[in-house]
Structure 1
Amino acid sequence: MSFGLEVMVRSALSHIGDLIAVSLGISLSLNNLLTFYADRPRAILAAHKKFMLARVAELSLLAAFALLYQQYDSLYINTIIDTAAAQFDAGVPLHWQAQVAACLIALAALIKCAQLPFHGWLIQVVESPTPVSSLLHAGVINLGGYLLLLFTPVVAQSSIAIWLLLLVAGLSTLASALIMTTRISVKVRLAWSTCAQMGLMLLEFALGLYELVLLHLLAHSFYKAYSFLNSGNAVNDAIRLRLSSAAKTSFQQAQTSNTVVPNAQTWLMAFSISLAVVIAIRSLFGFDGAFSAWWLFALALTVLIVQWRTCEHSPSIIYTIIMGGFLCVIYAALKQAMHYVLPSYSTLTVQAFSLADIWAMILFSLLFVLSAFLHYQVRWRAVRRLSIALFAGLYLDEWLTRLVLKFWPVTLPARTKQQHHAKSTHQPSLKP
């Protein structure tokens, strides 16, 4: 085991009781922050759902840790993971107790990362102050990924737990990324982005890309914290753009001309460059394992190149290839750097073009195709219907809300005097 993970496990949380106490303490403290505006019904409802789901996740963890204690006769995390790794190296399969524990840990990670259909509270807590949203999306939501990294030797050996992550997190990534494109509100759009990013992170874990999981957690934390804290400047940025002469000119051009739709030749050229660059850099760095992450990078690079080629002053082909290779090298270098932080579970990685890898590639391809249709073919009837369903969040949160309220009803705050006065005078209220 590498020095980095040993420090993370043995110095931070060395006992199962510590992990439970930290998880419970964070959850209860966050609940008080989410209800900062106690007179807002949506905030109270979101906090209520979060409280219920958090208790389900913690009960799953308690049951998992009880099974792990029965199997490994220890409450220390480093002893459990070291024993599980040693047994795997010796060819000893997981006992049924460890298999069930792995599935329970995976379920807890899915709930803590707000994967569909347990996502509604994450979208609705934008009612809380922006610093609270920043803390939640940049820190607390990462507990699911940290939990999986902590128990990698146990969870990675359970095929049921892995496929649970592949199916639920994979579909959540696809749906959340598409729904995000239909949102106008900055904070709501960022919330759906978090749901998609956490799903992708869990999918990376299921594919054995543990270095990408850690890289994703770090990068997402910095990016999302800055995005939420800077979200208040969206109004100022929009006003500044409207007042600028360049924005006026571009706005008038946008009104008089339609969006440039790339032709098949542009798409094929962009995809060919992206795939060639990705294969070359992957071979140069000597990476093995799942190919789906590189496939996703190639698709993202394809979209970027298409945007370059359809702009007014498109760059040359040589510049496009150089920039594409440069971005791919940065990605490969960051991926390689994470190997020095995490242990090398080379025998637990998913092989390229295996069933799990192909499943992930299919999901990424669907995301690529549907996103292109939503952006360039919005006038098609089928695309409009899909856009309407996505705008409604695919109606996935309604049934869970009804189930939660049926199991444990909550009394929502009544209208304030200010709201009653605004309603009587036909004036819009400042509070929802």
Structure 2
Amino acid sequence: MLFAINYVAAVLPALLMLGAAWTPRLRRGSTISRWRGFNVLAVVALVLASISLALELVVVRMPGWRAFDGGHFWLSPNVFGCWVSLLVQFLGTVIGVYSMRHLRGEHRQGTYIASLAVVLASVHFLLLANHWVTLIGSWMAIGLGMQRLLTFYPERGFAQLAAHKKRIADRLADLLLIVAAVLAWRAAGSGLLSVLMERVAAGARSPELTASAVLLALAVILRTALLPVHGWLIQVMEAPTPVSALLHAGVVNLGGYVLVFFAPLLGISDVAHWCLVVAGLLSTVLGGTVMITRVSLKVHLAWSTLSQMGFMLLECGLGLYELAALHLLGHSLYKAHSFLAASSAVRNTRIARLHEDGHNRRSSLLWAPLASGLVVWCVQRWLAELPWPWWWSAILALAWAPLLWLPARHRRWHALTGLAMVIGFTAAVFAVEYLPLGASFAPFEAAGPLAVAGMVFMYAGFVALQWWPHGFVSLRQWIYAGFYLDELYTVLVLRLWPQHQPGSAGSRFPATQSVPARDE
């Protein structure tokens, strides 16, 4: 009985959001009344998502529960999926209320409401997917809904081009995912993901499963906008601010969920892990380095998303799926708040610059990784019963180090706040080992030293750029432009799939024109 109630509570949010997509057509009143109808359904869906998570946590502790046991249903809840579902529905509810005010007076709000509801419903279906058809169909529907949101202002040619580049990357990812599904389906004898997980857990190994794992990893790399298709993620900043929040805080993160869900399948292929490690590490280094050269807050946040997504996929490639799960939840909340509070952040940044707080003490750049490493070592010793690879402690120390940087005008609370954050984050990382994800994962030891070397290289770049703020002029120009990697992808896309330019029938973007990411 409890399983049935849990199932209904998990599926209803998706159905409610699907119904909300029709509110602009069913309600013939004012735009405000349409928004109110959407927001009411969103709140009800949020309550149901909370109930579903609570019931799922109870079901997990019941005797006989098995990981990814979805039976023969195409939709089936799981613990991590319920967490992400609650988070996305919460963000969708907040974004709906924010959009109602942010878009006041704008045309095409009915289309916006319908597209937002379709995206949220599709996300719920993806998080419930227990069949390849459900998974692929939901992910495709998310992409189609986001296309309409990203091109909310159809007269903006630059936004249209970025959306076109995203559409090409999505279609390539869909193709890889379909081939991966066919291979896994043949090997498992069923399209049900629960059956696939049971076969893999029982020791099933075959060339089809190995190839399916590699193609799945490549599809996720394309969907999460990692190198070399990252440019559209930076260039869609002309979309409304709540759309940016939904994209960066909810939609892009879904690649991390898919990798965590398919962790048993990925575990049988070292090639899949290497693909995630290399793409994740390169994206982390590029995004983190370019981010510190950008002035525009939204563009800065976009490059930050690239770096964070790279780091999340790096965690999955290293076999640290529990940390990727924690990272996904934390990054979603942080990025949603950052985009929705962008105007306040701009004002605070300007005030900080007036007081010359934008510069860091040079000495803190050197001792910060040592202090961060000491904190990580102490927490690890305190929780010594948990197995932990040495190289991950080094990666964490370098990742937390910027939290301990001190501004030029030193204030005591800066150091205390940074230290408290490092301690809290490190404790959360070790505590996440107890998350009931339903499976145990072994770290991918072979790629550990490479990941440490990449993080050291990135941190050394941070120190050099801040130690000599007026040096490396030529290098700074290349870094600012992202080493022109996106320009190569843009030229390739426009030559193979030319895009009509809005506002001029029959005209196209020049196939050889390089379109850099603007920083305005």
Match of 2:179 among 63, 69, 77: 63
Structure with larger RCO (C-alpha < 8 A, sep 6+): 1
AA matched with 1:123: I
Match of 2:486 among 397, 407, 410: 397
Offset from partner CA, 1:281-311 (integer Å, 9 cap, x none): 1122133243333223322444444427x64
Give the corresponding residue for 2:24. none
Q: Does 1:23 align with 2:136?
A: no
The alignment partner of 1:366 has SS state of helix
The alignment partner of 1:64 has SS state of helix
TM-aligned CA deviation for residue 313 of structure 1: 4.3
Match of 1:367 among 426, 446, 458: 458
Give the corresponding residue for 1:343. 438
1:384–1:55 CA distance, 2 compared to 1 (3 A): same
Give the corresponding residue for 1:205. 316
Q: Does 1:327 align with 2:422?
A: yes
1 CA distance for matches of 2:335 and 2:421? 24
- TM-score in terms of structure 2 length: 0.69
1 CA distance for matches of 2:144 and 2:287? 26
TM-aligned CA deviation for residue 5 of structure 1: 5.7
1:392–1:60 CA distance, 2 compared to 1 (3 A): same
Give the corresponding residue for 2:373. 275
Contact 2:373 2:397 in 1 (8 A): yes
TM-aligned CA deviation for residue 335 of structure 1: 3.7
Alignment of 1:143-292 (within 5 A): 143-237=254-348, 241=351, 250-251=355-356, 262-263=362-363, 269-286=367-384, 287-292=386-391
Match of 1:10 among 71, 76, 96: 76
Give the corresponding residue for 2:197. 81
TM-aligned CA deviation for residue 340 of structure 1: 2.5
Contact 1:281 1:325 in 2 (8 A): no
AA matched with 2:264: P
Match of 1:296 among 380, 395, 403: 395
2 CA distance for matches of 1:237 and 1:326? 21
1:415–1:186 CA distance, 2 compared to 1 (3 A): farther
1 CA distance for matches of 2:299 and 2:370? 35
- Of the structure 1 ranges 5-14 and 385-394, higher mean CA displacement relative to structure 2 is found in 5-14
TM-aligned CA deviation for residue 280 of structure 1: 2.3
2 CA distance for matches of 1:162 and 1:204? 10
1:329–1:47 CA distance, 2 compared to 1 (3 A): closer
Offset from partner CA, 1:153-187 (integer Å, 9 cap, x none): 11122011111111111111101110011111111
2 CA distance for matches of 1:267 and 1:409? 46
Aligned residues: 389
Offset from partner CA, 1:203-233 (integer Å, 9 cap, x none): 0011111111110111111111111111133
AA matched with 1:20: I
Contact 1:177 1:192 in 2 (8 A): yes
Contact 2:68 2:438 in 1 (8 A): no
The alignment partner of 2:202 has SS state of helix
The alignment partner of 2:295 has SS state of coil
1:5–1:126 CA distance, 2 compared to 1 (3 A): farther
TM-aligned CA deviation for residue 260 of structure 1: 6.5
2 CA distance for matches of 1:147 and 1:173? 19
Offset from partner CA, 1:38-74 (integer Å, 9 cap, x none): 1111111011111111011011110000000110101
1 CA distance for matches of 2:343 and 2:418? 32
Contact 2:163 2:232 in 1 (8 A): yes
TM-aligned CA deviation for residue 278 of structure 1: 1.5
2 CA distance for matches of 1:118 and 1:345? 32
Q: Does 1:385 align with 2:484?
A: no
TM-aligned CA deviation for residue 330 of structure 1: 4.4
In structure 1, runs of 5+ residues without a counterpart are 417-431
TM-aligned CA deviation for residue 334 of structure 1: 4.7
Contact 1:133 1:228 in 2 (8 A): yes
Contact 2:326 2:432 in 1 (8 A): no
Offset from partner CA, 1:307-358 (integer Å, 9 cap, x none): 27x6434589xx87x9747733542235423532313424x3234xxx3100
Give the corresponding residue for 1:407. 496
2 CA distance for matches of 1:46 and 1:209? 32
Give the corresponding residue for 1:107. 218
- TM-score in terms of structure 1 length: 0.82
1:7–1:135 CA distance, 2 compared to 1 (3 A): farther
1:326–1:182 CA distance, 2 compared to 1 (3 A): closer
The alignment partner of 1:139 has SS state of helix
TM-aligned CA deviation for residue 271 of structure 1: 4.0
Contact 1:177 1:193 in 2 (8 A): yes
1 CA distance for matches of 2:476 and 2:418? 33
2 CA distance for matches of 1:235 and 1:340? 37
Structural RMSD (CA): 2.9
- Of the structure 1 ranges 398-407 and 281-290, higher mean CA displacement relative to structure 2 is found in 281-290
Offset from partner CA, 1:386-421 (integer Å, 9 cap, x none): 2111111110011111111111111112479xxxxx
- Of the structure 1 ranges 40-49 and 295-304, higher mean CA displacement relative to structure 2 is found in 295-304
1 CA distance for matches of 2:239 and 2:66? 35
Calculate percent identity across the aligned residue pairs: 35
Give the corresponding residue for 1:426. none
2 CA distance for matches of 1:179 and 1:228? 19
AA matched with 2:390: F
AA matched with 1:30: M
1 CA distance for matches of 2:145 and 2:405? 46
AA matched with 2:362: P
Contact 2:403 2:422 in 1 (8 A): no
Offset from partner CA, 1:102-132 (integer Å, 9 cap, x none): 1100001101110011111111111111111
Give the corresponding residue for 1:357. 448
